[in-house]
Structure formats: structure tokens, C-alpha cells
A and B are shown apart, each in its own frame.
Chain A
Amino acid sequence: MSNTTAVDRRASAAPSMETTKNPVAIELAGVHKWYGDFHVLRDINLKIERRERIVICGPSGSGKSTMIRCINRLEEHQRGRIVVDGVELTNDLKKVDEVRRDVGMVFQHFNLFPHLTVLENCTLSPIWVRKMPKKDAEAIAMHYLARVKIPEQAGKYPGQLSGGQQQRVAIARALCMNPKIMLFDEPTSALDPEMVKEVLDTMVGLAQDGMTMLVVSHEMGFARQVANRVIFMDAGQIIEANEPREFFSNPQHERTRLFLSQILH
């Protein structure tokens, strides 16, 4: 967002930069996962540094969603190591909670809570998980709702908003936890075409503020503009990764070329 103020920047992204020394935000080493006999993730090795913006693309069923869902343990991996912000994900629920507090996630279908107002959606987690006083939580929520440009909708219920507005609320809701890392699982795939831009603009603003972002998306324009790395996955593996210009103009692997030729017409 071009008109993001200095106050915004200080309140959101900056603290997470200063509080941690570790330059590696996320590390996946030899990660495997199976659904029954089906081998969804095969030997995933990926190291993501702070402030990186990574766009992951690939055909459906390639395991890209599963991979980012492993990062906040919505899915369990069965072999290998996943370390998020210095915390290794194991069956230890305390560690899982610790990671989830610091990793925000935005879903394809928003997953807003329909029985709560927009403001309540945003304050819920700060109040119950961070144990923040209600007043402070509401101030923060209003700050982020203003940032995604829908402060006037705070009193409404999600069902009364358009898809694009709902997705922006979902982003604000995640930001209210002041996350160090943001995961986006196909954030624009369920939106009407005319609403994609408002959501992407919000994400561009976040990226400019230095948020560490992992985005599963087929918005290649967004990847070109924002990503510092594009990853192509197929059949549960990382097939190719490169900085966007090289990735699009000079794909190395044949499957990447085939995929790009199909989505870029």
C-alpha cells in the first residue's frame, strides 16, 4: 500500500524484526507426509529467511497447501524436521501453540466466524490467547481494519460483507496477533475477479512493510511484483525455485515449463 503511514509500519512489522535475532524464519528439512498410502509431501527441504516473500505455485494436488499447513501444524508431518522461528514442531502442544501465536494464516474460504462481528473476529484471539484487555484489543483491531481499509464495517457480521472485504478482514484478524510470519493459502481463489485486486493490494502493502510471507497462489502478476522467490511444486516435491524474473523467463525443469505454458497462455 503506497499510502501506508510510518505509524502503521512501526506498529506492525517492525517489532517482529527487532525482537528476534535468528535470520531463519522457517526451516523444513527432509519433510515427508502421507495420507494413508498416498505420499503427499516427498522430501521437502526449504529454508526461508526473515522478510522473504515466497510464492508457491503448482497444479492442484501437488502438496503446496499441505506444505504451508504443516508450518502451523494444521497438518502433521510424519518424517523430517520443521522449525518455525526457532521452535521445532513436534507433538508437544505447547510448542504448537507457541508457533500458532506467531504465525498468521489466511485461508481460501476466509474462515471468518459468522456469529461474531468483524471487530469481535479481530479481537477474539488477542483477548483470549494474548490475554489482552478488551480496550487495547479493540484499538489494535481498529488500527488493522483501517489498514485494510474497512474500519467502517467493524460492527457488521461477515455474512454482510463482500468476498473481498471478508478476505481483508481475515488478513486484519491475523495481523491483530502481531505475527512474525504470514501464511496465505490461495487467498484470492474464491473471490470474484473484481475483488482480487483489493486483496492483492493489501498483501503488497504487507510485503513492503517487511512481513515474512508464504503465499500459495496462481496470481503470477503478484508473484512478479512482490516475491523474492517463486517455488514450483508438483507431485509432493519442490521441482524448481528461483527469483521471479528468472523463474518466469527461463524455467529449467520441463514440468515447470509445461505448467507455466498452461497458466500464462
Chain B
Amino acid sequence: MADEAANLAFAREHLADRVEPPKTATGAVGWVRRNLLSGWFNIALTLVSLYVLWLVVPPLLKFLVLDAVWEGTGRDDCLPEKVGRDVGACWPFIRAKFSQFVYGFYPADQYWRVNLTFALGAAWLVPLLIPQLPYKGLNAALFFGVFPVVAFVLLVGGVFGLSHVETRVWGGLLVTLVVAVTGIIASLPLGVMLALGRRSQMPVVRMLSVIFIEFWRGVPLITVLFFATYMLPLFLPAEWTIDSLLRALVGVALFSAAYMAEVVRGGLQAIPKGQYEGAQALGLGYWQMMGLIVLPQALRIVIPGIVNTFIGLFKDTTLVMIVAIFDLLGQLRAAFADPNWSTPTTLFTGFAFAGIIYFFFCFGMSRYSLLVERRLSRVERR
């Protein structure tokens, strides 16, 4: 080896053998040493993290589990002075109000319709999300085409012998999911069209898209909801009555479409000009080029941004509360007013419950998007 370094002329006689990589510390101890204690800064971070965990985890565990009340029928079971010990979460409160949190004031004998809608939605969505399963086209048609119609008929009723249920009595998780799912499903295609419009060669299309996007991004969602609920009826002829939930739905969908448009535009801008030229040179038309070449790549790039918008939208649904639509959080607050359950911990219990539900959905979306990203990057292995 010294030869090739020292001599001006060199020709290798034997090819070098393949050698195993050096064995560093392995096993659990090695992992800890490498990842947690590799230097003074790392050690300090580890200590700070441990301290924060110590501050947060035990009290949380104490409140949610150890000191929690699990059985009971009213406030007396959750009052410290009646029970004679520290009281954490008052779970019987959640159990007592559970159907309200899920269905709102939907007629109790019609709960099966909501349950069936949830079940159908899950049955068609879950296989769609699992990449290994076949028939994606049919599956997508069922979920995006058939499901909204079926869900509408089931929930609203008035046909096929189903009694009509006004949206005024809908509430809880049902409203949260209806608003979120409609917003999510409507905002993506709308956002894509707006993003394409904003990059269009046609000045009129471009200008309309810009105006639309900037208008909706420029006003707060609360303003939109207020306007849709209280102002819009003033401008419309008296005989036009649009369902208030529908108005909120449209407002949320258009609002998030504007955000989605900007996310998608970011993806479109990341696609090199060569991809457009390659498609054009092959004779593809505009829609073929966009649909087959540009958008599939652009949307992949912005999956994190898209899911970010979805998560934001999911949590923004709580704002419908201010226009007297009772979503999960609205029902929760209504339940706080019940004197039968007024205890010092009811409020915390309720918000802990709502937090867990929202976290379940949002964290789920986040993890799923990571899975999709990893899968796509593995497929192309670039």
C-alpha cells in the first residue's frame, strides 16, 4: 500500500480484498453510549429530557389513571370531599355524555344510521389506505363517489322510509367528521385546479385564481363562517334557505382549497421544465401532461404540506362552534353546563378526552403520510 503512495508509477498486482466494516460498540449499551451520551452536549440534552419527562409524565399518569374515578353516576362520585381522596379525571362524566359527544342531539332511535355511515366510511377508506390491497380504482370510486351520496341519504334521510333528520340536531364527533371529511375531499381537487389556474398561460384564468386564493387566504375562517351564517341570508332572497351546516361546509371547503392551492403550487414549481418538455415532445396535451406527468410528481413532493393542511383543517372544524353548530368541542362545552356533573375536574376530564380524540385523528394522518412518503421513495429509489 505504501508503494502507491510513494511511487510516481504504480500498477496494482492484486485487487484489494473486501473487508468487514469495523465493529463499533454494539447492543443496548452501545446504542445508549452512541445516541445519548456521545459528548458533553449530548449528555446535557439527555439530562434535560429526563427532567422534562419527570415533570410531565408522573402528574399526567396520576391524573388520567391513578387518581381517576372510573365508576359513578353523578357529581358526588367525583368530588374529593365526598370520596375522601384526591380525584383525577372523572371518567363517568364522559361515559354519561358519550352518546352526546358522538351524535349530538341526533334522535337516539336513529343512532344506527350514524353508526352505519361511520362503518361504511371506515370499510371503504381503510382498504384504500393500505397500498398492498388490489382494486384501488373501484375502491376509490366507492369512497369518493358512492360514499358521499350514501352518507347524505343515511344521515339526512327523508327518502326510502328514513325519517328526515335536520342538520340542526346533528352534533359531536359526527359534525366534526362531516365537516373535516367534506373539507378534505373537496379541498384537494379544488386546490389543484386553483394551483393550475394560477400557473395558467391564460391571463383571465390566472387572475381569477389569484383573486380567489388571495381573498380566502386574506380573511380569517371565523369571518367566513360568520358571513356564511349571519350575513349571507341578508343578501339572498328570503325564499332561499340554505342549510346552515351546508353553508359552513362550503365555507370551510373553499377556505382550505385556497391553502391547498398554494401547497400544490409549491409542488408544481419544483417540477423541472424538462418534464413538461418531455411530455410535450411526446405529443401529450395539456391535461394529459398535467394529469399523467406533472401532478403525480408534484403532489408526491408536497405530501407533507398537504397532510399539514388536512390536520390544520381537522382542528379548524372546531370553529364552527361559534356559528351555533355543535361539533365535538361544542357538545363538550354544552355538557360542562350540566349541574349534575359539575366538579373541579370535569373541565379537565372533558378537554383531556377531546384532546385524545383529536390527537388520535391528527397523529394518524401524520403517521400515514410518513408511511406513504417512505413507500414512494422506496419504489423510485432515487
A residues contacting B by CB (< 8 A) are 72, 74, 97, 100-101, 103-105, 107, 109-115, 124-125, 128-129, 157, 159-160, 173-174, 177
Residues of chain A within 8 A of B381, CB atoms compared: 157, 159-160
Instruction: Please state if B285 and A72 are interface contacts (CB–CB under 8 Å).
Output: no
| Chain A residues within 8 Å of B293, by CB | 113
Across the interface, name the chain A residue whose C-beta is closest to B286. A93
Q: Is the CB of B282 within 8 A of A109?
A: no
Q: Which residues of chain B come closer than 8 Å to A72, judged between CB atoms?
A: 280-281
Chain A CB within 10 A, most for which of B278, B280, B380, B382 = B278
Q: Which 5 A-B pairs have the closest CB atoms?
A: A111-B278, A159-B382, A125-B282, A105-B281, A111-B274
Contacts of B38 in A (CB 8 A): none
Return B280 CB to nearest CB of chain A, in Å: 6
In the complex, what's the smallest C-beta–C-beta distance from B201 to chain A, in angstroms?
A: 12
Most buried by B among A103, A107, A110, A114: A114
Residues of A within 8 A of B382 (CB): 114, 157, 159
Closest to B293 in A: A113
Chain A residues, CB < 8 A from B300: 115
Q: How far is the CB of B293 from chain A (nearest CB, A)?
A: 6
CB distance from B213 to the nearest CB of A (A): 27
Contact of A111 with B277 in the complex, beta carbons under 8 Å = yes
Q: Mark B160-183, 1 if CB is under 8 A from A, else 0.
A: 000000000000000000000000
Partner of A115, one of B278, B285, B380: B380
Interface contact B284-A113, CB-CB below 8 Å: no
In the bound complex, residues from chain A placing their C-beta under 8 Å from that of B16 are none
A-B contact count (CB 8 A): 65
Asked if B380 and A128 make an inter-chain contact with CB atoms under 8 angstroms apart, the answer reads no
In the complex, chain B residues whose CB is within 8 Å of the CB of A128: 284, 288, 292
Shortest distance between the CB of B81 and any CB in chain A (Å): 65
For B379, the chain A residues whose CB sits under 8 A away are: 157
Which residue of B is nearest A130, CB measured? Answer: B283
11 pairs, A vs B, C-beta closer than 8 Å = A100-B280, A100-B283, A104-B281, A110-B274, A129-B284, A157-B379, A157-B380, A157-B381, A157-B382, A160-B381, A177-B283
Cβ contact within 8 Å between A124 and B285: no
Shortest Cβ distance from residue A156 to the other chain B in the assembled complex, whole angstroms: 9
List chain B residues, Cβ under 8 A from A107: 274, 277-278, 281
Residues of the B chain whose Cβ atoms lie less than 8 Å from the Cβ of A111:
274-275, 277-278, 281
- Smallest CB–CB gap between A166 and chain B, Å? 12
Q: How far is the CB of A103 from chain B (nearest CB, A)?
A: 8
Give the docked Cα–Cα distance between A177 and B282 (Å).
8
Q: Which residues of B contact A174 (CB under 8 A)?
A: 281-282
Residues of B within 8 A of A113 (CB): 275, 278-279, 293, 297
A124 near B280: Cβ-Cβ < 8 Å: no
- Within the complex, which residue of A125, A157, A160 is in contact with B284, where a contact is CB–CB below 8 Å? A125
Query: Would you call B380 and A100 a contact (CB within 8 A)?
Result: no
- Whether a CB of chain A sits under 8 angstroms from the CB of B296 is yes
Asked if residues B275 and A74 are in contact (CB atoms below 8 Å), the reply is no
- Contact between B277 and A74, CB atoms less than 8 A apart: yes
Complex interface: chain B residues within 8 A of A159 (CB) = 380-382
The answer to whether A74 and B283 touch (CB under 8 A), given A109-B274, A157-B380, is no
Known: A74-B277, A105-B281, A159-B380. 15 other contacts (CB 8 A): A74-B280, A97-B283, A103-B281, A107-B281, A111-B275, A111-B278, A112-B278, A114-B382, A124-B292, A129-B282, A129-B288, A157-B379, A157-B380, A159-B382, A174-B281
